[in-house]
Amino acid sequence: MLSNEDRAALLQAVTEAVVELQNATDAVDEAAAARLGVNRTDLRCLGILSAHAPITAGELAAATGLTPGAFTIALDRLERAGYTRRVRQAVDRRRVLVEPTPKARRAIAEIWDPIGQEAQAELAAYTTTELRLLHDFLQRGIELQRRHTARIRR
């Protein structure tokens, strides 16, 4: 059993590690945006598209949290860069889907596939119980960040 002092030190170490992880992730995103020749907002759009495409422009705008005007500008930039395209649905021509281009898919795979592969290898070392704990911790962290994003924006 840990003493109160040891537990406090462990809590501090975990908190510092989370901050370092966020900073390291931010550095990867910054390097990726520079490599792709886009800004961080555009990179966020590409990330959402990579995970959820094809989606409507409205759904993508909502997921980014951008205003309609800012989102349209970002989407236009991504189209000019050759990373996205708007596709009208055959059934309802008013409905426009946004999808990443093959160029975007290749670039995303080149940058993030090695990270994903290494992360999977790291995670394989954990027991099922530890993975459940990690998943719970991460889910709680995601919800905490979303709550505070909303708070800050208000």
Q: Domain-by-domain residue ranges, the chain?
A: 4-123
pLDDT digits (tens, 9 = 90+) for 46-55: 999 999 989 9
b/e map of 137-150 (b: 16 or more CB within 10 Å)? eeeeeeeeeeeeee
Is the pLDDT at 91 greater than 90, yes or no? no
- Surface-to-core class of residue 12, CB atoms within 10 Å of its CB (0-12 exposed, 13-18 middle, 19+ buried): exposed
What kind of architecture, by CATH, is found in domain 4-123? Answer: Orthogonal Bundle (1.10)
Is the pLDDT at 32 greater than 80, yes or no? yes
pLDDT in the model for residue 95: 82
Question: Is residue 38 very low, low, confident or very high in pLDDT (cuts 50, 70, 90)?
Answer: very high
pLDDT in the model for residue 58: 87
Q: How much is the pTM?
A: 0.85
Neighbours of 67 (CB within 10 A): 10
Q: DSSP labels for 25-41? A: HHHHHHHHHHHHT--HH
18, 33, 52, 148 from 68: Cα distances, Å: 33, 22, 19, 22
